[in-house]
Structure 1
Amino acid sequence: MTRRWLAFALFVVLLAGVCTWLGSWQFGRLEDRVARNDVTRHNMVAPPVPVDEVATSDIDQSEDNEWRQVEVTGTYDTANQVIVKYQTRDEGSGVDVVTPLRTADGRAVLVERGWLPSANRTGADVDVPAAPSGEVTVVGWWRANDNVPVRAAQPDASRQVRAVSTLGVAPTLDYPLYEGGYLLLEKQDPPTKGFLLPDGPELGQGPHFFYGLQWWFFGALGLIGFLWFAWAEAHPRGPRKAGHARPGQRSVPAARAAAERAAAARAGGHTAAPGSQRPEGTSVDRQHDAGDVRSGR
């Protein structure tokens, strides 16, 4: 095996290995997605639980609590609500409104009350519907803090943020928050009008299955291509018969004849064609023969 073929083989093996690993990684992500969807479906039909059953620190927050129904009673603190910028619905720009709900034990839970259309300009005024006054009972879906840098969840001067996290909001309040996450409002009593309620979970499997197949296909294609080239190298085509040429290529005799005709045509201007001249010696010999005959009479 030449160095060229050895390098080619190593490259193909490496390519096939990488493609196989990437395909397996995509199928692993698919399995994780299916498992999370199963947990979500289970949580969504389970009865509501108190907020302190799911509210833990970020480090201790479990994915098993995602989309779990939580019921909590308290009073909205609209003075400290935050506006989450750059949120879209049906390709329309808008904002989410998140308001602390203070409970009887002195702590509060962040509640995402819904979505409003907005121009999404920094500092733009948003006409937020008033929250119910007095005590309300809220049922919502528990979501872990958005996985973003803390500064993205810290309210600016107009109390606008780019993500929701208790780590960013808590330092701006004079009372403690339930840690680890927030609620997406499903229903409350009494209700609030003017919002689009938060979207539910996305339970699709995503593109992981087809991505995995594509990576495995690329790996198999590389191996098949290498084997084909190796077979072609080991089984070259035999010599062709004389006078037979590939399409578009003249045979050797035909090419030689054409070359001879071209040479003769070039020489035609300087040399007479065969048979156009006779040697002088021929006429002289004939004259001598005739004289001998006459002298013999």
Structure 2
Amino acid sequence: MYRFLLTRQWVILTLLGLVLIPVMIKLGFWQFHRHQHKVAQNAQIARNLAATPVPVTELAAVGRTLPHGDMWRRVTATGTYDTAHEVVVRQRTAADEQTIGYYVLTPLVLADGKAVVVNRGWIPAGDDLTKFPHVPAAPTGTVTVTGRMMVDETTAVSGIKDTKGLPPRQVMLINSRQQAKRVGRPMLGGYIEQTAPRTKDNSPELVPEPDHDSIGPHMAYAVQWWLFAAAVPVGWVVLVRRERRDRQTAAAREASEAAQPARTEPAEQAGAVSAPTEPGAGDGEPVARTAGAPD
């Protein structure tokens, strides 16, 4: 009855289903873990943004990678801007996440001679991307900056290619180690994403606070993958039962067609017997009766 399962078509179909089930389950857990990561990240962002600002030197140090748990912590830094070593970061979007422009990076020199990179905000790209754009001037004299502490960008983490041969004073990544080589001054690890003081109308547009309310569709995707995994064996059973039913119907039809000639043969033979003829009639033709002739 189920011998058709040994055919090549059904063996391949069964093996394919056995492969798809664990793959779909794994993809579901992958999306579930992404959901958990997003939830944990949102909680960390909310917690760090609500914390009281601390001096930048409490979190960052020269040659030290900023711990992931300190990302988005609010810090303060007091010093003077080194505008001579100011650079812009290419291909960055404004708050609307559509308009392409630059981030403005300016080293802030602290009282001890060390510096920290400050992302002063976003400016539009302009028409000529081969030249250093017009950048609103940074405040002069001693300033105190408040902002969010961020980890240095790398190609591996950000996915941004560190393109070489760019126009002067233009970079692709915000990286304190790269800036330390350019400036020739010790740089604290990480950088500050400025939030205060608020900029004027002609100053760079401050980077908006990261979204920490949305958790994304990852949990829904995880449930979908698990439903797909459960549907594979159910679909396999449905297909097997349908194939069995179709084969039984076809077999019954063939048996009925094979028995049909055997049932009609006696009737055909009975219909082939001719009417009785009179004795002496030639060629088996019936003799015409004469009216009034005795039988």
Same fold (TM over 0.5): yes
Q: Distance in 2 between matches of 1:88 and 1:120?
A: 16
Q: CA deviation at 1:153?
A: 8.1
Q: CA deviation at 1:109?
A: 0.5
| Matched position secondary structure for 1:133 | coil
Q: CA deviation at 1:151?
A: 7.8
> For 1:136, which of 136, 139, 143 is the aligned residue?
143
Q: CA deviation at 1:212?
A: 1.4
Deviations 1:208-259 (A, max 9, x none): 1222122223222222211111222344444359999xxxxxxx89xx9xxx
Q: Distance in 1 between matches of 2:28 and 2:57?
A: 41
Answer with 71-80 or 155-164: which moved more. 155-164
Q: Distance in 1 between matches of 2:163 and 2:77?
A: 23
Please tell me the residue identity of whatever aligns with 2:70: N
> For 1:12, which of 8, 14, 17 is the aligned residue?
17
Q: Distance in 2 between matches of 1:46 and 1:133?
A: 29
Confirm whether residue 119 of structure 1 aligns to residue 126 of structure 2.
Answer: yes
Q: Name structure 2 gaps, 5 residues minimum.
A: 265-280
Q: Distance in 2 between matches of 1:123 and 1:183?
A: 27
* 1:132–1:190 CA contact under 8 A, matched in 2: no
Answer with 57-66 or 209-218: which moved more. 57-66
The equivalent of 1:195 in structure 2 is 204
Distance 1:63 1:156, change over 3 A: same
Deviations 1:55-88 (A, max 9, x none): 2578753211110000110000011011011112
The equivalent of 1:186 in structure 2 is 195
* 2:63–2:187 CA contact under 8 A, matched in 1: no
The equivalent of 1:110 in structure 2 is 117
- 1:277-296 equivalences under 5 Å are none
- 1:1-297 equivalences under 5 Å are 1-2=5-6, 4=8, 5-56=10-61, 60-89=65-94, 90=96, 91-119=98-126, 121-148=128-155, 152=162, 156-179=166-189, 181-188=190-197, 193-203=202-212, 204-236=214-246, 237-238=248-249, 239=252
Q: Distance in 2 between matches of 1:233 and 1:151?
A: 54
* 1:58–1:145 CA contact under 8 A, matched in 2: no
Among the aligned pairs, what percent are the same residue? 33
Query: How many residues matched?
Result: 258
Distance 1:30 1:83, change over 3 A: same
Q: Name structure 1 gaps, 5 residues minimum.
A: 245-251, 257-278
Query: TM-score with structure 1 length normalisation?
Result: 0.75
Please tell me the residue identity of whatever aligns with 1:111: V
